[in-house]
């Protein structure tokens, strides 16, 4: 995926430790950062992860995955991220996550 490529259609889910967060958009992805925009329903697990990172908690690094869905709610593409931590929160909705490695998979 090219840097700063908007991937807002049709839908994404972020899964961290079994807690699923619906995303309204994957804003951009680079070699070691991804910026996502949260959907209207927020996951408590994602909130916990954000708070752990912002509080410099020792357990702030977590593996997570993002899956893209088509207009028929079928998974089409996924990314598995290793050692991710929330590095920036803007406007409470735009979340930048820094990671050490990413692998693409087909769900």
Query: How many domains are there within the chain?
Result: 1
Judge whether 28 lies within some domain: yes
Beta bridge mates, 39: none
Over residues 30-60, the pLDDT tens digits come to 999 999 999 877 778 888 899 999 898 888 9
- SS (HEC) of the chain: CCCCCCECCCEEEEEECCEEEEEEEEEEECCCEEEEEECCCCCHHHHHHHHHHHCCCCCCCEEEEEEEECCCCCEEEEEEEEEEEEEEEECCCEEEEECCEEEEECC
| Domain ranges, residue 47 | 11-105
Judge whether 3 lies within some domain: no
pTM of the predicted model, to two decimals? Answer: 0.85
Q: What is the CATH number of the domain that holds 53?
A: 2.30.110
Judge whether 4 lies within some domain: no
What gap in Å lies between CA 21 and CA 33, rounded to an integer? 18
Judge whether 1 lies within some domain: no
Over residues 56-104, the pLDDT tens digits come to 888 899 999 999 999 888 999 999 999 999 999 998 789 999 999 999 9
């Amino acid at each position: 995926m090219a840097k700063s490529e908007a991937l807002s259609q049709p839908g994404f889910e972020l899964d961290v430790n079994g807690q699923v967060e619906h995303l309204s958009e994957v804003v951009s992805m680079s070699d070691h950062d991804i910026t996502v925009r949260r959907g209207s329903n927020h996951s408590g697990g994602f909130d916990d992860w954000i708070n752990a990172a912002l509080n410099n908690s020792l357990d702030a690094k977590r593996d997570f995955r993002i899956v893209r869905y088509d207009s028929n709610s079928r998974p089409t593409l996924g990314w598995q991220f290793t050692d991710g931590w929330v590095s920036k929160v803007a406007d409470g909705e735009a979340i930048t996550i820094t990671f050490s490695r990413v692998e693409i998979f087909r769900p």
